């Protein structure tokens, strides 16, 4: 039998064991409650997140649907006055010979690419196949833009006469004038020598420059301009228009305009077709085309005396050079010596050596883009120098 002490010890042990079991059960119960709470919170957060995602997707679909409906509504409203079109400039000024492609916008400031332009007077502004406005002559004109659904916009254009900047205003219009012109340059020492001779006789000339030579002698281009002579365009590569497409002619002309502008700050206003051969773009109205009435044939003879005699023979035949445009080439090494003799000869006869633009100005001729000019005679006589 157990003693009293042993029974007490056993009871105490059983009591402590029951207490440990009870506390263990309590701890497990707390863990379960905490786990349940955490799981509940996670479940609630997950539900909230799912609801938000679903709501967002639904909203996007609603917005997308609304936009489609709005766009569809807009597309049906385009022909109405609710979405008018307009020029970015309702009024515009151009100079004769300038080209400009207008920008057309709708009421949502979207640029339109398909439209047609019409000029109410093509003698003032002409529209080419690229929807460029070509300033042909001085005056005011309305340009109308039309899109396929019938919407229209208008722009008022004022065309100024060709700039007279650089034209000497102190010349005597009653004294004879002749325009000496030089092609295919600039050509370094040749051009510099010609400039020295012209300056000696207070003469000015027009230099029709080729793009590939401009790249070689930009400083000469600047010198020609700064000394008051006229820098003009003779195409980039001196290729004949008969061998070029419309777009190639455009590139030949416009690239040189940009070259010259980069050097002297302004584009040339005159163009001479290589070989005198006119092309579709050249005659489209972008720039006046300058030909010649006297060909010295310096490019063929390459002899300064022969070049000089082409000038003196005119007078020997009983004619004069008043109003003539003379063709020479500063590319030819014989030309500078010929120019010395020619300038001395013309100076003795009382001639003023002028630029092409000066000659046109004093003969009251407003040159127009695309037109060919070979001379500016006072009475426009018929002459046979040959």
Could you list the active site residues? Answer: 183, 329
**Phi/psi of residue 186, nearest 5 degrees:** -75, 160
Q: 354, 209 in Cβ contact below 8 A?
A: no
> Could you give the CA distance from residue 369 to residue 35 in angstroms, rounded to a whole number?
91
The 3-class SS string of the chain reads CCCHHHHHHHHHHHHHHHHHHHHHHHHHHHHHHHHHHHHHHHHHHHHHHHHHHHHHHHHHHHHHHHHHHHHHHHHHHCCCCCCCEEECCCEEEEECCCEECCCEEECCCCECCCCEEEECCCCCEEECCCCCEEECCCEEEEEEEECCCCCEEEEEEEEECCCCCCCCCCCCCCCCEEEEEEEEECCCHHHHHHHHHHHHCCCCCEEEECHHHHHHCHHHHHHHHHCCCEEEECCCCCCCHHHCCHHHHHHHHHHHHHHHHHHHCCCCCCECCHHHCCCCCCCCCCCCEECCCEECCHHHHCCHHHHHHHHHHHHHCCCCCCCEEEEEECCCCCHHHHHHHHHHHHHHCCCEEECHHHHHHHCCCCCCCCCEECECCCCCCCCCCC
Phi and psi dihedrals of 15, rounded to 5?
-65, -45
Give the closest residue to 220 by CA, choosing from 335, 229, 274: 229
Rounded CA-CA distance 189/194 in Å is 9
């Amino acid at each position: 039998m157990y003693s009293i002490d042993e029974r007490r010890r056993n009871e105490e042990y059983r009591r402590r064991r029951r207490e440990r079991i009870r506390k263990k059960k309590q701890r497990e119960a707390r863990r379960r409650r905490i786990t349940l709470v955490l799981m509940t919170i996670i479940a609630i957060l997950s539900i909230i997140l799912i609801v938000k995602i679903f709501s967002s997707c639904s909203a996007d679909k609603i917005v997308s649907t609304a936009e489609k409906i709005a766009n569809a509504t807009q597309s049906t409203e385009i022909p109405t006055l609710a979405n008018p079109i307009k020029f970015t400039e309702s009024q515009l000024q151009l100079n004769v010979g300038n080209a400009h492609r207008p920008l057309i916008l709708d009421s949502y400031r979207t640029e339109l690419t398909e439209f047609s332009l019409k000029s109410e007077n093509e003698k003032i502004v002409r529209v080419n196949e690229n929807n460029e406005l070509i300033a042909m002559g001085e005056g005011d004109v309305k340009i109308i833009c039309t899109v396929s659904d019938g919407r229209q916009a208008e722009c008022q254009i004022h065309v100024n006469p060709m700039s007279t900047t650089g034209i000497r205003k102190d010349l005597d219009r009653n004294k004879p004038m002749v325009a000496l012109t030089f092609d295919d340059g600039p050509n370094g020492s040749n051009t510099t020598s010609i400039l020295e001779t012209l300056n000696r006789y207070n003469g000015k000339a027009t230099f029709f420059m080729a793009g590939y030579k401009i790249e070689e002698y930009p400083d000469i281009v600047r010198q020609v301009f700064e000394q008051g002579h006229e820098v003009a365009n003779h195409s980039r590569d001196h290729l004949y228009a008969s061998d070029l497409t419309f777009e190639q002619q455009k590139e030949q002309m416009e690239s040189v305009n940009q070259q010259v502008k980069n050097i002297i700050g302004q584009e040339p206003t005159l163009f001479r077709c290589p070989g005198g051969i006119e092309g579709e773009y050249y005659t489209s109205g972008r720039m006046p085309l300058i030909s010649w009435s006297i060909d010295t044939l310096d490019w063929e003879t390459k002899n300064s005396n022969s070049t000089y005699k082409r000038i003196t023979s005119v007078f020997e035949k009983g004619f004069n050079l008043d109003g003539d445009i003379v063709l020479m080439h500063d590319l030819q090494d014989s030309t500078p010596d010929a120019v010395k003799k020619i300038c001395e000869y013309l100076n003795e006869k009382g001639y003023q050596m002028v630029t092409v633009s000066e000659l046109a100005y004093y003969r009251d001729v407003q040159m127009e883009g695309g037109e060919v000019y070979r001379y500016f005679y006072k009475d426009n006589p018929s002459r046979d120098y040959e």
